[in-house]
Amino acid sequence: MPPTTDSRLARATGTSLVLAVGATELILTAGEFALLGMPVFLSLRVLPRADGLYRIFLPVAVALCAALVLRLFDALRPVALLLSAKRRLEAVSTAEADAGQRALVRAPRESAVLRFIVWTALPGTLLAVARLRGHVATLPAFGLLTAGALHAAAAAAARVLVLENVLGRVRPVILPNLEGIRVFSRAYRAWLALVAVASLGFSHAGAALMLVAFVGAPNDQVALLTLLGFAILAPAAVLWWRSMRRRTAPIEAYFDATLRSPGTRGPARDEPKAVTAFVVAQSLPYRLAGYQAFSLALAGVVAVAVGRWLTGFEPAVAGRMLLVLAVVVLASTLYAAMVFRMTLRPLMKHIGSRHHLPVREVRSQVGLRPKLLAFFVGETAIGCGFVSLFDGAPDGAGGWGLLALAMGGGLSLSLVLLMVRELVAPIQALETRSEEIARGELARPVPPSGEADEIGRLSVAFEEMRRSLRDRLRSTESINVDLEREVRRRTEALEQRNTELRDALQKLRQAQDSLIRSEKLASMGRLVAGIAHEINNPVNAIINSLGPLEQVVREIVELPQGGDVVDKAKAAQEMLGVIARGTSRTKAVVQALHNYSRGDESIPREVNLSRSVDDSVDLLRHRMRNVKVVKDIDPRVHVQGFPGQIDQVLMNLLTNATQAFGDRPGTIRVGAALRPTGDAAVWVADDGPGIPPDVLPHIFDPFFTTMDVGEGAGLGLSIVHGIVERHGATIDVESAPGAGTTFTIVFPAKAATAAV
């Protein structure tokens, strides 16, 4: 079976997870050695070079770090099992999913706690040994231990943040139904605290390095300043935590209303708590960074003042210490503000993509211009401070001064890169989304990249535009669907009405044709019946008298009389023969009229086409004086139908053919035969002038005629067409000007029979 998208994604994610965790561990471990090297170095400086701790410290630290790396991979085993199951397309149980989720949460924290213990225990052990051997006093020993603990806490906090960021990319693969905002709602306060701890520890490490490099402070002074500063920072950290929890209460209220309430169906479009939470989230980074900067500055000033009072160092040294403190506090504040913003950005994106944000209410109090100005002023101040400290560094600073200066350059460069990213990334995102919106892709929201400054308000405006376009498009689509549905309904109704009208018109035409045909047949029947009755009486009298008259003439001829009488008797006998033949002919015509005028039965019966043709020709013989009729009729051809109507068809076709000649002579051919297919064909062909092409399509239309007014009603061929269709037959016409006309009627095989 070929791998599916989920299996390929799981395989790629598993491989990238191993590589990412390994690379992260390598970088973090190197950073921990660099960060914790300062207190360890200061601790080792108090020991004599011959002490055995010099030789065992590095191997022990490396061995412990390797063991902790193995422990981290072991803690992530449930995640690896879930990825393996996904790769094999196997079902994942609830217990396995819960184990994977717990591993994603616990592994970074467990690794950080173990690292904190290791990196606190190592300097503590060194300092304890140094104190027992009398190489360091109690107060500096506690100061160095405090510095080590602070640096270890900073490294642990950074480890948690980095590992959770790396492992967070795996969570959508193994737990696709878990919303990222729910994970954020449970951990964001801890993340803010970890950012503060990391910032504080890194600030102290930088300050210690700068004090050693640029001020030349001895170990006991650095340790003392650390201990004094920690005495201020500890209660300040508690106050910072309580302030952070108090200021995040609106955010918690928003989460309670939209995520944690039982039966919550989803965030409302106009949720007032969302606006409050967004306003708090965009101002919180600066407030937290400001509180942290104030606490760090206060602790530093108090530490320098008390340290000078206790140790009596020179005012110039105190001034340089305060300059170091200013540079560190300024850099720490800028970094902390940016990292706090990045930490809270998912919340602001979530709110911006799911709720309506009134621009006037969420507008940032500090615009982009003041922030950029403050950033560049701070960058300039940090650079000037480093240059000033480097110029005034003591002669013994050496490599430490260069290291501190390199640290300052890297710090300034990283701050610039972060600020550029903060400016360019949202603009690039807006550019991408604007191109997608231009292509009509309106499904994905355009959340604000952070606070509602100029760029953020532009993002909010884009989101409102997207929502408006989407709603209008949906409204337009809905209207179009309704219109299409209504048009379809009206079209169907119109088609139904048209069908009904066509059926009614067809029925009307059929009724009209039937009425015309019935009326014509009825009138003709009455007329023919009357004529036949009037003719039949005298003809019968003549016929009845012919017999006795012939007998008398025969007796006269047989008498022995003279020649004249005999001759006259013979002449009379010949005339009687003529009269007999004439009366027989008259009787045949009358019989044909009777056959033609009889009413049709309601049930079809067998019709002799030969007899029908003979009757029709006999009735029209008086109009065919100049026309020669040639009959080619198979006497066995019979069809099932209505005799009177079939006679009318032949009569109308013969009449039209006769009328086509006018006074000119011509020939009409009438035939009937059975086809090999079993159909019965009847044709009437003439060699007259033919039918013009423009007239031919209309010859079967009712009331269509080319004759003069009063000479024809235009119903003959229309009646023929209706009768033919009623019998299930077809009629075709072939005609060309000057080549005559042929009408062919084909009765289907089921209606055609052959008489035996």
Instruction: Please give the tally of structural domains in the chain.
Output: 2
Residue labelled with tokens 């979530």: 350
User: Which of 119, 144, 178 represents a domain boundary (last residue)?
Assistant: 178
pLDDT beneath 50: ranges in the chain? 1-9, 12, 49-50, 519, 523, 527, 709-710, 755-756
Tally of residues, the chain: 756
* Structural domain contains residue 726: yes
Cα–Cα distance list, 682 to 336, 365, 563, 590, 725 (Å)? 108, 103, 57, 25, 15
Cα–Cα distance list, 362 to 185, 456, 458 (Å)? 21, 10, 12
Please give the pLDDT value at position 373. 84
User: Which of 178, 207, 227 represents a domain boundary (last residue)?
Assistant: 178
Cα–Cα distance list, 245 to 190, 250, 332, 536 (Å)? 10, 10, 22, 129
Please give the pLDDT value at position 353. 77
* Structural domain contains residue 432: no
Q: Parallel, antiparallel, or unpaired: how do β-strands 680-686 and 730-735 relate?
A: unpaired
Please give the pLDDT value at position 544. 66
CA atoms of 413 and 94, how far apart (whole Å): 47
Cα–Cα distance list, 667 to 90, 186, 635, 653, 741 (Å)? 94, 110, 21, 14, 11
Percent share of the chain, pLDDT over 90: 2
* Structural domain contains residue 189: no
Cβ–Cβ under 8 Å, residues 612 and 654? no
Please give the pLDDT value at position 282. 86
Please give the pLDDT value at position 6. 47
DSSP 352-367: HHHS---HHHH--SS-
* Structural domain contains residue 727: yes
CATH of the domain at 640: 3.30.565.10
* Structural domain contains residue 266: no
CA atoms of 376 and 371, how far apart (whole Å): 9
Q: What tokens were used for 475?
A: 């409204």
* Structural domain contains residue 6: yes
* Structural domain contains residue 77: yes
Please give the pLDDT value at position 246. 92
| 3-class secondary-structure state, position 741 | strand
Q: What tokens were used for 699?
A: 């010859």
Please give the pLDDT value at position 514. 65
Closest CA to 686 of 623, 730, 633, 744: 744
Structural domain including 37 reads 1-178
* Structural domain contains residue 422: no
Residue labelled with tokens 């471990």: 29
Please give the pLDDT value at position 3. 43
User: Which of 146, 178, 210 represents a domain boundary (last residue)?
Assistant: 178
Residue labelled with tokens 């408006």: 468
